[in-house]
């Protein structure tokens, strides 16, 4: 299999093969240019057919990244520091790290090419979801190639995109750049797009103003111009414990929680059956979902507490606060009076878990045209999952999503990306480099 990083510290060694050398690249000066000029609407620049498999350097880089188990609960510093060192070896010296409060995790933001404002961001997250409890048929942190696919945790979501960017960067630098190219690699995307918020705040405070952003989440290399927003909450129900033989004298927190969950399910049915709809989305309506519930200790005790987590994934234009208020009013105006007639301390407490704005890129935005041209596809998509693109757009950086692999493979056992998709991503990045050098 491909060679592992030589300096990944805690990351696992995926092969005994020697690591690939880092090329020495001379950086040529080029005049600063507005990114808008680097976003023509022509067809892809390379007339050659796309290869059926990516370069050995890219496969080696995917192997290296997969071998580092950057599950969101764990540190990503070994991986981030290795990427930083690799960039430095290429002569990239404008590198910013932003850490979490415990300094166990970090974002990396690097700028290559000329100084000045503008430039395009290539964005990807470094964390992956856990593998525990999933029936993997091979080691999830050891890259496996089989039948035209690369298997391993993060191959689809989304270490292959990050690997392509890093593996093709030497060629981009060798051509020279007329406007800046920014690399943004974040932590904790999988648990609420947490890390990228600090990255964005840092570059805004530093006066770095990119013109556009491409987020490389898996889209089968089809440009995606919109995604739903997501808000999630935790509800903590306080009841009153009692021996179950005297259940009417207690407040059953589990039952109260289940009534709210049933109300959420009724909202979901309403959106499914009545809309509003946006047919361009793969799931064309707002969705409501309860994913976690915990309560009770044993059967003969009326449970005094129950906690559940729920979310709304809403269409552009919907108001998530109004959706939440509908749930809160039902709980506190319909259920709570009955609960407090039994015990005055009964109640509901609400906690926001995450808030991810939706993405809605105008069809005429230059970055949409650029993504179409580089991908060779004229149509665009709209998806139900959230990404960091909405956060970039929120601070005035127009964004689209385009990356290798399918979201259908993400978060699953035996996650995979096809070699053909990685090769398409290579062509996309290579042609982008040509555009930025033109």
Backbone torsions φ then ψ of 199, nearest 5 degrees? -60, -50
Q: Point out the catalytic residue in the list 127, 190, 388, 414.
A: 127
* CA 409 from centre of chain: 14
Q: Is-catalytic flag, 127?
A: yes
3-state secondary structure of 91: coil
Beta-bridge partner residues of 382 = 226, 281
Q: How far apart, in Å, are the Cα atoms of 177 and each of 23, 86, 163, 290?
A: 18, 19, 20, 48
- Cβ neighbors of 231 (< 8 A, separation 6 or more) are 311, 312, 314, 320, 321, 323, 324, 352, 354, 355, 356
**Are the C-beta atoms of residues 383 and 224 closer than 8 Å to each other?**
yes
Backbone torsions φ then ψ of 15, nearest 5 degrees? -160, 155
Q: Angle 419-437/56-66 helices, nearest 10 degrees?
A: 110
Q: Point out the catalytic residue in the list 189, 190, 414, 415.
A: 189
Radius of gyration of the chain measured on its C-alpha atoms: 24
Backbone torsions φ then ψ of 202, nearest 5 degrees? -65, -45
DSSP string, 201-259: HHHHHTT---SEEEE---STT--EEEE-EEEEEEEEEE-B-EEGGGGGGSB-HHHHHHH
CA angle 191, 197, 199 (to 5 degrees): 120
How many Cβ atoms from other residues are within 10 Å of residue 86's Cβ?
A: 18
CA angle 188, 191, 195 (to 5 degrees): 30
* CA 356 from centre of chain: 11
What is the DSSP-derived secondary structure letter of residue 334? I
CA-based end-to-end distance of the chain: 36
Residues serving a catalytic function are: 127, 189
């Amino acid at each position: 299999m491909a060679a592992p990083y030589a300096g990944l510290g805690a990351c696992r060694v995926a092969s005994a093969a020697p690591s690939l050398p880092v090329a020495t690249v001379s950086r040529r000066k080029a005049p600063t240019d507005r990114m808008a000029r680097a976003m023509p609407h022509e067809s892809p620049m390379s007339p050659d057919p796309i290869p059926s498999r990516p370069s050995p350097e890219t496969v080696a880089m995917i192997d290296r990244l997969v071998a580092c188990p950057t599950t969101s609960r764990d540190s990503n510093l070994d991986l981030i520091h290795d990427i930083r060192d690799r960039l430095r070896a290429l002569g990239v010296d404008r590198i910013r790290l932003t850490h979490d409060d415990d300094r166990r995790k970090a974002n990396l933001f690097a700028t290559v090419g000329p100084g000045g404002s503008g430039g395009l961001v290539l964005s990807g997250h470094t964390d992956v979801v856990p593998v525990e409890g999933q029936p993997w048929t091979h080691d999830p942190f050891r890259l496996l190639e089989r039948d035209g696919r690369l298997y391993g945790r993060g191959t689809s979501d989304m270490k292959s995109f990050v690997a392509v960017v890093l593996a093709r960067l030497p060629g981009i630098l060798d051509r020279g750049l007329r406007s800046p190219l920014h690399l943004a690699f974040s932590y904790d995307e999988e648990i609420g797009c947490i890390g990228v918020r600090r990255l964005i705040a840092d570059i805004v405070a530093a006066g770095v103003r990119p013109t556009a952003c491409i987020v490389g989440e898996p889209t089968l290399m089809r440009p995606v111009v919109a995604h739903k927003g997501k808000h999630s909450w935790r509800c903590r129900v306080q009841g009153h414990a009692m021996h179950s033989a005297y259940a009417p004298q207690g407040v059953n927190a589990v039952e109260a929680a289940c009534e709210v969950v049933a109300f959420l399910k009724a909202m979901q049915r309403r959106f499914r059956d009545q809309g509003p709809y946006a047919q361009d989305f793969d799931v064309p309506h707002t969705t409501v979902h309860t994913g976690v519930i915990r309560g009770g200790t044993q059967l003969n005790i009326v449970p005094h507490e129950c906690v559940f987590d729920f979310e709304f994934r809403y269409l552009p234009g919907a108001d998530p606060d109004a959706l939440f208020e509908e749930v809160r009013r039902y709980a506190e105006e319909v259920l709570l009076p009955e609960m407090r007639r039994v015990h005055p301390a009964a109640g509901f407490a609400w906690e926001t878990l995450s808030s991810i704005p939706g993405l809605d890129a105008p069809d005429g935005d230059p970055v949409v045209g650029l993504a179409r041209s580089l991908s060779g596809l004229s149509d665009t998509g709209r998806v139900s999952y959230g990404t960091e693109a909405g956060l970039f757009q929120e601070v005035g950086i127009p964004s689209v999503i385009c990356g290798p692999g399918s979201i259908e493979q993400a978060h699953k056992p035996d996650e995979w990306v096809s070699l053909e998709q990685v090769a398409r991503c290579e062509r996309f990045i290579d042609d982008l480099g040509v555009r930025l050098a033109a």
